[in-house]
Structure 1
Amino acid sequence: MALSYPVSRFLRRRPGVRLGVLLSGPLAWLGLAYLGSLGALFVTAFWRTDTFTGLVVPELTLENFRALVTDSVYRTITLRTVGIAAVVTVVDAVIAFPMAFCMARVVPPAARRVLVIAVLTPLWASYLVKAYAWRAMLSGQGVLHWLLSPFGLDTPGYGLAATVITLSYLWLPYMILPIFAGLERLPGSLVDAAGDLGAKPLRAFRTVILPLTMPAVVAGSIFTFSLSLGDYITVQIVGGTSQMLGNVVYSNIGAANNLPFAATVALVPVVIMIGYLAAARRTGALDNL
């Protein structure tokens, strides 16, 4: 229905109000779909499953949280998941920083655009295709075996190392792009001033470039850490017998048919990421997203 003339004139004179009206629909949908689902997840975590009928009983109980905290298996899986996510984040940061620096500061603008497209190209491929490609390469007869066997080495096989390698490859573009954007915004005059004052390249990097681009690194780590924290498909493909929190959620939704406990386990990554985002906000990283 078209707006009446006085209302439309009012909105034209106040662009801020007009923007709020336009965004009210998407924001309402976001609140309903995202915050509403999180609220349902939180409530379900306090319910229980009847062991005889297998039906969900909407009675408030802390039994799911008690089992999650007291059972050493779930503590081990939680620590393993956080450790894998942290290692993937560090590996991606170490690989991404020199690549982003080369893209932003070394190559000419024409080559820079080509490199940005090259970084984005792997994102066009299917997640499963890339994960299974790494499974083939990490197998006993894969490409890595053929490359390493002449040197007396072999592939790591399927396990935690394979999971870290595959996740690091999958999420690397999400680390490169924020760092590239941060380095591109870095004033070249600051680097030149450090050199004029006698700073060697390594010291200029340590005292000028790295501190000023650290918010961009933290911004990239939000993607790599959160995506690794919630992943469960990669560890199923290349993780061997290892499990992560996502696998526990998946198994309790499917085979175990224990939806309340699955909701309880799913809250763990949510709580971890809330704390991580709160810490990242203090560094100014959210401004680089």
Structure 2
Amino acid sequence: MSTPLTADRLLKALKDEGLTVVQVGNWRTHNRNHKGPWGPVNGVMIHHTVTQGTAHTVELCRAGHSALPGPLCHGVIDKAGTVHLIASGRANHAGLGDDDVLRAVIAEKRLPADNEANTDGNRHFYGFECVNLGDGRDPWPAEQVEAIARAAAGICRAHGWGAASVIGHSEWQPGKVDPRGPIGAPDGPALTMARIRARVEQLLDDDKPTTPSTPSKPKPKPKPYAPPAFPKGLAPGRKAPSARGLQRALKAAGFMSKGIPEADSYGPATQTAVARFHQAHPAYRAAGLHYDPAIGPRGWAALHTVAYGKKK
């Protein structure tokens, strides 16, 4: 058993399922609560309207008629799949039904045949009237069928119910046949509550948001490693510019022992390490420079890429 959703939570539950929702007039306070209790709520009931046209149907369900005052449901689902909210609270949609069916809904078990009319369904069920002539020939567009399942799933999700909490009027009250008719075309498959509940179950089993996700922005490609500028004038035997940066790169690349102290001087140890780098570099071997102890701008860039490029 559950406390009925507030108007705000009902609206959010439907929108969170990706539905297009129209709020009609004073729907937040439009109800029949003065005629009987609203809640505890136990399920969602689906009806067909036996009408044509969205505007006419919405107004009829909102206002009702002399024999049955409105609201006649909580929401009207039109042929395009839009949900028109017309009430929050008790509504005249379910009438008297079978208490055995109510107990099965609460327990989320297989429904028994409805053969009694002894229990107030308006108290226990959210109701959706769906635009359809109800003659068994008027087709149900796929968009409308999907909206029915999503509206039911949204309420079930908000209450923590399963798909077995969704029933048709025909399963509640003896003599009722709604909803019925073919899906998509006059010769299409029949709309059944089993089909609707199967889709509700799929939606409830889906942990991902049902609303379309916003495509994420592609991550920028990492910039290629750019070595520092070659110190002009760096040459064997000199102390300026300092050879410390060259020595650190040679150590990082594995051509100079890390135990050799760094110094400004481009001395013999640095020259030997540079020659080792040239010996290991195919381009320098091919050019006959594989024993060259001096390093120029291209060698400097190649050494730094070997030493640091893969870490960037």
Which of the pair has the greater relative contact order for Cα pairs under 8 Å at 6+ separation? 1
Normalising by structure 2, we get a TM-score of: 0.19
Normalising by structure 1, we get a TM-score of: 0.20
Larger Cα-atom Rg: 2
Task: Please state which structure has a larger fraction of its residues in strand.
Answer: 2
Task: Please state which structure has a larger fraction of its residues in helix.
Answer: 1
